[in-house]
Chain A
Amino acid sequence: MAEPAIDRSKMQISDEVAIQITGMNKWYGTFHVLRDINMTVNKGERIVICGPSGSGKSTLIRCINRLEEHQQGQIIVDGTELTSDLKNIDKVRSEVGMVFQHFNLFPHLTILENLTLAPIWVRKVPKKEAEEVAMHYLGKVKIPEQAHKYPGQLSGGQQQRVAIARSLCMKPRIMLFDEPTSALDPEMIKEVLDTMISLAEEGMTMLCVTHEMGFAQAVANRVIFMDQGQIVEQNEPREFFNNPQSERTKLFLSQILGH
């Protein structure tokens, strides 16, 4: 795959910590799904998380905005610790955007209403202003002309771009992506990846669960490999792909890359 030309001028990693996870464990009933997770994400980092299906990737990033609750350890997002305190949870959620595999757009609202809903009700932005911001981001994801359609009238790739724009309208500091291209037809994957790349170019802190290794090599500054609920290996992308250390990583990479 030809590497897209990427403008790296604004992709700077600062010393400020965006997410700090220490000694985190999570169980589903008796099933130990995440085991002793420790990771620090600095502002401006672009991290790709990969690993076999069922290894706990989704669960990990869903813990970061508390769609899942962890039972042990500490998760601090942008200085706020996630506990059962609802105020903290709401604060973190409004700072962290999330993009899902199946888009999860609101089918009963138009695209524009999907984008303005949270700014109006959570951020209390006046409707007019929210609409201007929404149109700005729809322009960024290159579908301003669809503003008054319903999600059901758009293609998968367009819906996913709307979902990204919807998160961006909340002006998040961190974006989480959970396999954003896995439900898309091949010809639509690129348009979504392009949107994500341009987001990275603007210096957004991003955590992406994805198997798009081209994207990982082009954009990520760090790749994390998970298996059986644990972080098995992490490295900068070139090293990770060319010179994997653990046997599990080698096996995984040979399965998804080589034939």
Chain B
Amino acid sequence: MSLLYIRKDMLGPSAPPASQTGAIRWLRENLFSGPVNSILTLLAIYVLYALISLSWPWLANGVWTASSLQECRSIVAASAGPDAGGACWAMIHERWHQFIFGFYPPDLWWRPILAFGLLFVALAPVLYADNKSAMSKLCGLIGVLAVLCLIGADGFSFHTVLAIALFAGLTAFAATKPRALLTVTILFPFIALWLLWGGSIWGPITALLGFMVMAMIYSLIAPKLGPVMGASLGFIAACLWWLFLQSYVSEAWQALLPLELTYVTSDKFGGFLLAFVIGVASISISLPLGILLALGRRSDMMLIKTLSVGFIEFVRGVPLITMLFTASLLLQYFLPPQTKFDLILRVVILVTIFSAAYNAEVVRGGLAALPRGQYEAADALGLDYWQAQRLIIMPQALKISIPGIVSTFIGLFKDTTLVSFVGLADPLRGITTIVRADINWKGIYWEPYIFVGGIFFIVCFGMSRYSMYLENKLKTDHR
């Protein structure tokens, strides 16, 4: 018998057999692949059916216009029989603004709306770096939505015209010079601060000056004593500026050149306005802070390492609620008595610190996952520590950490509801309690939670989808 075999002609590729594709095959493979799987599928279908058949009439009988829970109930009874249940969406219809704006004066709603719109413009260059068309689409869409909201809130007023011009200009910018939008990103915190709280425009401008003080001190000291020393001294100088000098300078300018919006105190903030203020501020500060902490924890310098580890472990070991109580009580003792330290600001600082510790650990995980060869290659090419971190290490470590970071962000955003413990009107407990205290809506239970839960879900789901988009976009290992 001969072992010789020679192929005469090579085979070309051919189409897959029909059973590789198609819905029936998918069903069989995924839902009915064996007896256990089939039973589970049937059980799941039954549970779904039971849930829907129980809640559907309640949802379908929902009443959208009524002035009290009693009226809702009588409308439902009249249309669907005395025993039928029905949702009373009329409460949402009547009180939605409290869930959204808290107690913010209605004639000033245009300010949070504008700030919220600008938030997305500021985010555009961060979310879609260098992708002009996505950026300008986002800006345009947000512009249209913001203007529609403004018309709804205010009619066709001066602010609406202002907003149309502003968003049109920004969209044009996004389409032509996307990099210039980064200026909006940098200025946004100060613009938002001013729009939301109002008061003299010199407040945010002098706050911005604090950062310039920091940059100046840094550039003076860093060449002599190194970047870490420069950054910490700069930070201390900026804090001194904010705590002691800023108010005098800003008052002086206000006396010279008065420019102000009606001042809105922090106790007027509530609902999702409050959740977003705390969430957005904490998210955007806690990521860079977390990165620095993660680097500190891996640093060779004993002092920095010990401080970072101590900070992270302490903050992670203490419940957020404890820290919030601290925010409302203890900080007051430590700071000079004449400083007016706003409760929302205090909460933002504490929530930021809290999530920075978590972010630090997530980022550290990403750093640990990088092969040592990446550091060595960066070193061998002559990049210094910060260049290597910024150009080589962080882009990869953060990419690995995206799912974890987004989880922290989602957790943080939902945790903003805990501020109800220090007397702030969060959408979930704060506003709902207030609404239920109204004699007209006493006894309403599911509807506000469904409404608030739905909005939370949309926001968190959005973040989650964005993170998946980002992971996909940054995927460069085409194996």
Instruction: From known contacts A117-B391, A152-B477, infer whether A166 and B381 are also in contact, taking CB-CB under 8 Å.
Output: yes
Interface residues of B (CB under 8 A from A): 371, 373-374, 376-377, 379-384, 387, 391-392, 395-396, 399, 474, 476-479
- Cα(A133)–Cα(B479), bound, Å: 29
Residues of B with C-beta under 8 A to A98 = 377, 380
Nearest CB of chain A from residue B392's CB, rounded to whole Å: 6
Residues of A with C-beta under 8 A to B371 = 102, 104
Whether, in the assembled complex, A128 has its beta carbon less than 8 Å from a beta carbon of chain B, the answer is no
Nearest CB of chain B from residue A109's CB, rounded to whole Å: 8
Nearest CB of chain A from residue B476's CB, rounded to whole Å: 4
Q: Is A107's CB under 8 angstroms from B477's CB?
A: yes
Q: What 9 additional pairs, Cβ within 8 angstroms, besides A106-B374, A166-B381? A: A67-B379, A96-B380, A98-B377, A106-B392, A107-B396, A117-B392, A150-B476, A152-B478, A167-B380
- Cα(A48)–Cα(B376), bound, Å: 22
Q: Is A102's CB under 8 angstroms from B373's CB?
A: yes
- Cα(A100)–Cα(B374), bound, Å: 11
Nearest CB of chain B from residue A241's CB, rounded to whole Å: 31
Q: What is the total number of residues of chain A having a CB less than 8 Å from a CB of chain B?
A: 27
8 Å CB contacts to B: which residues of A127-173?
Answer: 150-153, 166-167, 170
Whether, in the assembled complex, A202 has its beta carbon less than 8 Å from a beta carbon of chain B, the answer is no
Nearest CB of chain A from residue B393's CB, rounded to whole Å: 10
**Selected contact of B477 from candidates A97, A102, A150, A166, CB within 8 Å:** A150
Q: Is B383's CB under 8 angstroms from A100's CB?
A: no
Q: Is A106's CB under 8 angstroms from B478's CB?
A: no
Closest chain B residue to A90, Cβ basis: B382
Q: Is B382's CB under 8 angstroms from A93's CB?
A: yes
Q: Is B396's CB under 8 angstroms from A122's CB?
A: no
Q: Is B381's CB under 8 angstroms from A122's CB?
A: yes
Whether, in the assembled complex, A50 has its beta carbon less than 8 Å from a beta carbon of chain B, the answer is no
- Cα(A122)–Cα(B474), bound, Å: 25
**Selected contact of A121 from candidates B373, B387, B479, CB within 8 Å:** B387
Q: Is A100's CB under 8 angstroms from B381's CB?
A: no
Residues of B with C-beta under 8 A to A93 = 379-382
Instruction: From known contacts A150-B476, A152-B476, A152-B477, infer whether A104 and B376 are also in contact, taking CB-CB under 8 Å.
Output: yes
Pull 14 A–B residue pairs with CB atoms less than 8 Å apart, ordered by A: A67-B379, A67-B380, A90-B382, A93-B380, A94-B381, A97-B380, A100-B373, A102-B371, A104-B377, A106-B396, A108-B476, A117-B391, A118-B381, A121-B391
Closest chain A residue to B474, Cβ basis: A108
8 Å CB contacts to B: which residues of A98-130?
Answer: 98, 100, 102, 104-108, 117-118, 121-122
Q: Is A170's CB under 8 angstroms from B476's CB?
A: no
Q: Is B381's CB under 8 angstroms from A117's CB?
A: yes
- Cα(A122)–Cα(B383), bound, Å: 6
Instruction: From known contacts A106-B374, A107-B476, A108-B476, infer whether A122 and B391 are also in contact, taking CB-CB under 8 Å.
Output: no
Instruction: From known contacts A104-B373, A107-B477, infer whether A65 and B384 are also in contact, taking CB-CB under 8 Å.
Output: no
Nearest CB of chain B from residue A171's CB, rounded to whole Å: 12
**Residue from A118, A153, A167 having most chain B Cβ neighbours under 10 A:** A118
- Cα(A117)–Cα(B396), bound, Å: 15
Residues of B with C-beta under 8 A to A102 = 371, 373
Question: 10 smallest A-B Cβ distances: which pairs?
Answer: A94-B382, A104-B377, A104-B373, A152-B477, A118-B381, A98-B380, A93-B382, A150-B476, A122-B382, A153-B478
8 Å CB contacts to B: which residues of A47-75?
Answer: 65, 67
Closest chain B residue to A96, Cβ basis: B380
Q: Is B476's CB under 8 angstroms from A100's CB?
A: no
Residues of A with C-beta under 8 A to B395 = 108
Closest chain B residue to A149, Cβ basis: B478
Q: Is A118's CB under 8 angstroms from B373's CB?
A: no
Residues of A with C-beta under 8 A to B478 = 150, 152-153
